[in-house]
């Protein structure tokens, strides 16, 4: 005897049956459109596991597809949702890999056409520096085309950037250092993951003008290291760039082949300077007095200087006056680590841009004078 099926149950069954093809096809390649020819996993053809990569390194995934539509397909654009991936190239190629046409993967209207049966090569670049170390990421890149079957194809990349060690600060950035003294900075280093067996071993390389010492400590059940980086005296004035390279074991504490490179940055300046480096009055209101503040500093620890006089030169020198005074402890010879300088402008400053220079006279054999340009504007 046949029993009637409740209407609600019948509707739910029909809906489930209608959705079954969608779910069964999930992850598998469609019948037609752009189809991946070299999948890592046929059940998930647009997924690729980049695996564990050194943090800061680069890699790529080369995807080859075939247009199984009976008509040409035009690639319109390629979109990414993460700065850690980008399309490096997209090409129509022949069976031997020869490039027949190339699109601009950064363009919103690249209009690269692939004929029916044609091959498409997509190269996806991976950049781990933009990912937080020791945290996994699933990056997605979407290819938009005119295919009726595959108008949108999402490619997934699993990325695991590994950083064996955590540095604080992340590099030796010494800022301004006096030429005759140099400078130093201490960097604290820990293993990147709690319980990691990775170990730092020794300093194996330093740039010219750099020295480094590595000390080991066991603190709070964690292996830690202190790296003291020194930039030696008498480096050329200006930007200084160097590095320290340390040898290390792998994540299991084995071997000595791993390398940790620590960048070293500094700005080498004279031992006695005028700051800020750009002296600017800014916009002075007509008929209103203005002022410019600067400082003369002896940067070598323990060094002191004495300002004897300051002269102002330039087209508006007659409208300017200067005062200077020591800051902090003054020794018996009238020397001090730093001096405040104030340049005053009077109410008669002419309109327009102006420039000039300060000449500071010091009681110092090595630095008898310092000179610094200034500028400003009276609208």
Give CA–CA dist 254/89, Å, rounded: 38
**Per-residue pLDDT tens digits for 212-241:** 999 998 887 788 999 999 999 999 999 999
Per the CB < 8 A criterion, the answer to whether 175 and 296 are in contact is no
The DSSP H or E segment spanning 143 is: strand 137-145
Work out the end-to-end distance of the chain between its first and last CA atoms, rounded to an integer number of angstroms: 101
pLDDT value of residue 142: 96
**Per-residue pLDDT tens digits for 288-300:** 999 999 999 999 9
Q: In what order do the strands lie in the sheet with 279-283?
A: 279-283, 369-378, 352-362, 307-314
Q: Which residues contact 132 (CB under 8 A, 6 or more apart)?
A: 161
pTM for this predicted structure: 0.66
Give CA–CA dist 200/202, Å, rounded: 6
pLDDT value of residue 251: 85
Low-confidence spans in the chain with pLDDT less than 70: 1-30
Q: In what order do the strands lie in the sheet with 338-345?
A: 272-275, 290-298, 338-345, 320-327
Name all domains of the chain by residue range, CATH numbers in brackets: 29-162 (2.60.40.10), 165-269 (2.60.40.10), 272-378 (2.60.40.10)
Give CA–CA dist 275/279, Å, rounded: 8
Degrees (nearest 5) of the Cα angle 79, 80, 84? 155
pLDDT value of residue 193: 79
Tell me the CB-side half-sphere exposure of residue 333, using CA atoms within 13 A.
11
Query: Phi then psi for 69, rounded to 5 degrees?
Result: -70, 155
pLDDT value of residue 1: 38
Per the CB < 8 A criterion, the answer to whether 97 and 37 are in contact is no
Q: Which residues contact 16 (CB under 8 A, 6 or more apart)?
A: none
| Token code pair at residue 272 | 């006695």
Tell me the CB-side half-sphere exposure of residue 163, using CA atoms within 13 A.
20
pLDDT value of residue 54: 87
| CB neighbourhood size of 9 (10 A) | 9
Give CA–CA dist 50/160, Å, rounded: 7
Give CA–CA dist 81/85, Å, rounded: 8
| CB neighbourhood size of 115 (10 A) | 14
């Amino acid at each position: 005897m046949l029993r009637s099926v409740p209407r609600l149950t019948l509707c739910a069954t029909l809906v489930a049956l209608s959705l079954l093809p969608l779910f069964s096809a999930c992850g598998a390649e469609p019948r037609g459109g752009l189809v991946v020819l070299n999948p890592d996993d046929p059940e998930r053809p647009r997924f690729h596991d980049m695996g564990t990569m050194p943090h800061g390194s680069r890699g790529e995934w080369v995807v080859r597809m075939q247009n199984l539509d009976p008509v040409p397909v035009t690639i319109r654009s390629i979109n990414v949702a993460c700065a850690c991936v980008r399309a490096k190239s997209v090409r129509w190629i022949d069976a031997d890999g020869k490039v027949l046409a190339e699109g601009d993967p950064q363009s919103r209207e690249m209009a690269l056409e692939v004929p029916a049966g044609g091959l498409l090569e997509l190269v996806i670049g991976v950049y781990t520096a933009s990912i937080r170390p020791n945290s996994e990421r699933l990056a997605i890149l979407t290819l938009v085309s005119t295919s009726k079957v595959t108008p949108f194809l999402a490619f997934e990349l699993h990325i695991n950037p590994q950083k064996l060690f955590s540095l604080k600060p992340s590099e030796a950035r010494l800022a301004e250092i006096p030429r005759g003294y140099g400078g130093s900075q201490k960097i604290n280093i820990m293993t990147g993951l709690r319980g990691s067996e990775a170990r730092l071993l020794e300093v194996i390389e330093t740039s010219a003008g750099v020295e480094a010492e590595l000390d080991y400590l066991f603190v709070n059940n964690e292996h830690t290291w202190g790296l003291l980086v020194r930039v030696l005296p008498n480096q050329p004035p200006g930007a200084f760039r160097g590095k320290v390279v340390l040898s290390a074991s792998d994540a299991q504490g084995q071997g000595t082949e791993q390398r940790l490179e620590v960048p070293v940055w500094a700005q080498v300046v004279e031992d006695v300077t005028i700051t800020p480096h750009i002296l600017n009055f800014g916009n002075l209101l007509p008929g209103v007095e203005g002022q410019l503040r600067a400082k003369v500093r002896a940067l070598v620890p323990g060094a002191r200087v004495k300002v004897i006089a300051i002269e102002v030169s330039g087209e508006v020198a007659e409208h300017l006056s200067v005062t200077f005074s020591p800051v902090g402890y003054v020794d018996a010879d009238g020397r001090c680590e730093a001096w405040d300088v104030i340049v005053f402008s009077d109410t008669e400053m002419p309109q327009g841009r102006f420039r000039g220079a300060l000449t500071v006279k010091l009681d110092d054999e090595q630095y008898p004078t310092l000179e610094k340009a200034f500028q400003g504007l009276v609208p």
